[in-house]
Amino acid sequence: MKKTTPVMGWNSYCNCDCSPSEKIITDAADALVRLGLSDLGYNMVGLDDGYLGRERNAEGQLVWKEDIFPHGMKWLTDYIHAKGLLAGCYLGCGLTTWWGDAGTLGHEEEDAKRIAEWGFDLVKYDNHPTDEDGPRNLVAEYIKMGLALKNCGREIIYSMCEHGSTRPWLWAHGVGDMWRVGGDIRDNFSRETDQYRGILGAMDEYGSDSTPHTRAGGISDPDFLVVGIKGNSQFMELGNGLTDAEGRTQFALWCMTSSPLIIGADLNKLDEESLRTLKNKNLIAIDQDPLVIPARRVSSEYHGRELWVKELSDFRWAVAVLNRGPNPNRFSFRWEEVGLAGGIGMTVRDEWTGETIPEQFGVFSCDVDSHDTRVFTLTPEL
């Protein structure tokens, strides 16, 4: 059975752009285990663009760059699997990948079988338009790749990355396991460009159309976690990077919306606070809740306050209180605002600290630092 809750793990792109190496990937696998992240569910090691050769071999097969992966792909996946982890790779839906390596468009069946032989467990299939393209039908292209993976002889998670251009959340549940909903994310709270988004922009775009369509086995993906990068990846910078509070906000919103938790930072350079955020068991449990019901934004910004509510299993609800404003503030919300009955008592638990707050009736107040997000679970009491 394929994973039905959001994928968790690490990917090479934010760390090294399109210049991965065997050592970068094996170091990441080692770090996931050493830091205890694999014990919490971070079990996918993703190899992104830049590992394939520019040309295919004489048999028309994909080849890897032997200078940076001297032991080859099967050795690499065996190494990852020996750690109890899964291995992900990258293919380009185009004549080339974004880095200019051999593309898979028109070679879907043979490439699906190739990565299956190499032992990969996930493929990120990334759309790359070029000037040489003729007319293209992305829906048809992504369906074709899905069929090729279905028939490749190995169970492979299909991560569709056409950047939300065809609104895949409306048609792809029977085709892929997860799909990107927009452009690339960068290490910033709110700054935007035509091509890149900060975490608020990613969530604003994500929350508008695609969020309601996430469900078990069909996950909308607003892109990687940039928690903990903090200037250690220059090409990911867009402004000043994330503060610790802003990192908590990204993690909280990604967990609330049942999004994949794929770390982009160099695992060997994570500071203590970023690691503490990424290892919060309570937030991870919210992301991995078996119902896979994504949060709804039930209240837009009001004096900086924004509310999200997520239905959980076992008679529980999660509520995230985001402070978009520049100053700390004290915010309140009523049960009715999050769709609950006002006359019922609730036990409230702070999911960052694990502290249980005595039974509350109808209204709850909390202090929220600037750009931070508090997350609570509400459990009804008889």
Supply the DSSP string of 153-203, one letter for each residue.
SS--EEEEESTTTT-GGGT-TTT-SEEE-SSEE-B-SS-B-SSEE-HHHHH
Which superfamily does 8-287 belong to? Aldolase class I (3.20.20.70)
pLDDT of residue 170: 95
Q: Which residue has the higher pLDDT, 145 or 359?
A: 145
Q: Is 80 exceeded by the pLDDT of residue 142?
A: yes
Please name which of 188, 184, 182 lies closest in space to residue 165, comparing C-alpha atoms: 182
pLDDT of residue 195: 73
Q: Is 90 exceeded by the pLDDT of residue 148?
A: yes
3-state secondary structure of 46: strand
User: For 208-265, what is each residue's pLDDT tens digit?
Assistant: 678 889 999 999 999 999 999 987 777 787 667 899 999 999 999 999 999 999 999 9
- Is the separation of the CB atoms in 133 and 98 below 8 Å? no
Class of domain 296-381: mainly beta
DSSP secondary structure string for all residues of 326-375 = SS-EEEEEEGGGGT--TTSEEEEEETTT-PEEEEEESEEEEEE-TT-EEE
Rounded Cα distance between 211 and 205, Å, is 9
Rounded Cα distance between 11 and 88, Å, is 8
pLDDT of residue 46: 98
Domain with CATH 2.60.40.1180 in the chain: 296-381
What is the C-alpha end-to-end distance of the chain, expressed in Å? 38
pLDDT of residue 239: 64
Residue 152: phi, psi to the nearest 5?
-85, -10
* CA-based torsion, 129, 134, 140, 144: positive or negative: negative
Domain with CATH 3.20.20.70 in the chain: 8-287
Local confidence band at 18 (pLDDT 50, 70, 90 cut-offs): very high
Q: Which residue has the higher pLDDT, 55 or 343?
A: 55
Q: Is 60 exceeded by the pLDDT of residue 303?
A: yes
pLDDT of residue 207: 66
Question: So which residues are the catalytic ones?
Answer: 126, 184
- Identify the bridge partners of residue 316 per DSSP, sorted by sequence position: 312
Please give the average per-residue pLDDT across 26-40, as a whole number.
Answer: 98
The mean pLDDT of the chain is 93
Running DSSP on this structure, what letter comes out for residue 55? S
- CA 229 to centroid of chain Cα atoms: 15
Rounded Cα distance between 159 and 302, Å, is 36
| Strands 157-161 and 122-127, sheet pairing | parallel
User: For 176-206, what is each residue's pLDDT tens digit?
Assistant: 999 999 989 999 998 777 678 889 988 887 7
Please give the average per-residue pLDDT across 29-58, as a whole number.
Answer: 98
Please name which of 109, 157, 135 lies closest in space to residue 2, comparing C-alpha atoms: 157
Q: Based on C-alpha coordinates, what's the Rg of the chain?
A: 21
User: For 86-111, what is each residue's pLDDT tens digit?
Assistant: 999 999 999 999 999 999 999 999 99
